[in-house]
Chains A and B, each alone.
Chain A
Amino acid sequence: MNYIKRTKVEVAQRVAQDIHDGAYVNLGIGMPTLVANHLPPGVEVILHSENGILGMGPAPTEDDEDYDLINAGKQPVTLLSGGAYFHHADSFGMMRGGHLDICVLGAFQVSATGDLANWHTGESDAIPAVGGAMDLAIGAKQTWVMMDLLTKKGDSKVVSQCSYPLTGIACVKRIYSDLATLECTPEGLRLIDKVQGLEHAELEKMLGLPIAV
């Protein structure tokens, strides 16, 4: 192995690098929230929270939490100057209506053509819970996934067909991962970048899928 994997912070930095000035962005719960800490200086981005906030700011200091001002993960947040509140139907209308530029989500699996599985492992005794995952997956102008490319067991999370229950069909545009950045197209995967030292053939072998350059 002649390459070093990107850390979670480095993946967050890689995502942040592609977010344009003035973008309206929804960052999913978990790893995607890291992206907010790594936006390049001078880039002004407006964060959306599904529970009715545009212009969401960072977490407050310990004594300033307000339990009427929380994010989708139910953690206390702040509102930036210029921010706004609105009700749930407007919030999801904003999403479904294609008004958000970018949505960044975690995933269990993504197919080469952009099908997303991120809400259910398919285990029959698991209690299902979907939240805003399906609305987020198909709503934004671009849906990006941020994840490790392989499972802990070493299986590829990028697959020809998702075996986990789907969240949305052909909705993922890009995959940002610890080993490579990939684009999902109707014809399959296309390489955007990969970590130094990782051979193209090695990456294709890991995923078991062809990757166009």
Chain B
Amino acid sequence: MINKISESIETALASVKDGDTVLIGGFGTAGIPNELIDGLIAQGSKELVVVNNNAGNAETGLAALLKAGRVRKIICSFPRQADSWVFDDLYRSGKLELELVPQGNLAERIRAAGAGIGAFFSPTGFGTELAKGRETREINGKRYVLEMPINGDVALIKAECGDRWGNLTYRKAARNFGPVMATAARMTVATVHEIADLGTLDPESIITPGIYVSKIVRIDRVATAAGGFKKGT
């Protein structure tokens, strides 16, 4: 019998290794798998390469993982935030490598990895500092830059509802990077707020089919900024 439901985050993350590339979903307050990031801190793997849209806020979540000195390199589109002081200090002191990628190229490089694409030409960034030294090509009069896929060893994502086959639904704009990251890693772990009996999720509404998902852990819906509901409820 297939059962991708893990009893705990600890069990779900047990196989993460030093040096792994970890894709972490979320954008702003939506879809950040905070519980899994905390689990990764507890799990102890180091020398990680992290792929996320940002580079952590304040002292929790991804910022806490950075602060714990467990990340060697971050691949992201927008590290600078009003409260990204943990990243800022590590970057300025040369303790953390940064690969800055335009957001759409970041999403597409992850998608390409999941879809088995060897590389692709994107018009985004052509002629800019971020494309310096890279292979370019003119196709039908338009100029493009070669972009390589980003494969993950692990993807950590937050979904809304899942079943024992690993099928996932998402909630509103918390979907963001989740579905593409799920396709691009050897092991995808998703937190969900609800576990559905097999067959009760509407097949038309399943956004991530279980083939892309290794493990699911149910978490409470916390009334925090990343919890999906307004403050104080």
Contact = CB atoms under 8 A, between A and B. Distances in A.
B191 interface: no
A167 B173 contact: no
Contact of B102 (A67, A70, A127, A132): A132
Contact of B229 (A67, A96, A134, A135): A67
Nearest to B170: A85
A87 B230 contact: no
Contacts of B125: 134
Contacts of A65: 230-231
B105 A135 contact: yes
B172 A66 contact: yes
Given A92-B104, A131-B103, A135-B105, A51 B27 contact: yes
Interface stretch (B7-15, B35-43, B60-68, B175-183): B175-183
A162 B122 CA distance: 23
A167 B176 contact: no
B127 A96 contact: no
A45 interface: no
B176 A51 contact: yes
Interface in B94-148: 98, 100-105, 107-108, 110-111, 122-130
A89 B127 contact: no
Interface in A122-145: 125, 127-135, 138-139
A15 B206 CA distance: 40
Given A67-B29, A74-B28, A135-B104, A127 B91 contact: yes
B230 A132 contact: no
A96 B105 CA distance: 10
B interface: dominant SS: loop
B207 interface: yes
Interface residues of B, number: 53
Contacts of B127: 166, 168-169
A49 interface: yes
B80 A96 contact: no
Interface string B77-104: 1111000100110011000001011111
Contacts of A138: 123-124, 126
Nearest to A136: B104
Contacts of A134: 102, 104-105, 124-125, 128, 130
A195 interface: no
Contact of A52 (B175, B226, B231): B175
B149 interface: no
B104 A66 contact: no
Interface residues of A, number: 43
A119 B98 CA distance: 17
B227 interface: yes
Contacts of B98: 128
B104 A69 contact: no
A189 B157 CA distance: 47
Contact of A131 (B31, B77, B173): B77
B154 interface: no
Nearest to B114: A89
A91 interface: yes
Contacts of A50: 103
B179 A87 contact: yes
A210 interface: no
Contacts of B16: none
A129 B80 contact: yes
10 contacts: A65-B231, A67-B226, A87-B175, A87-B207, A88-B180, A89-B110, A127-B87, A128-B98, A131-B77, A166-B127
Given A93-B108, A96-B123, A130-B101, 14 more contacts: A51-B173, A51-B176, A65-B230, A67-B229, A67-B230, A68-B171, A74-B29, A79-B172, A88-B27, A89-B108, A96-B104, A96-B124, A129-B100, A167-B128
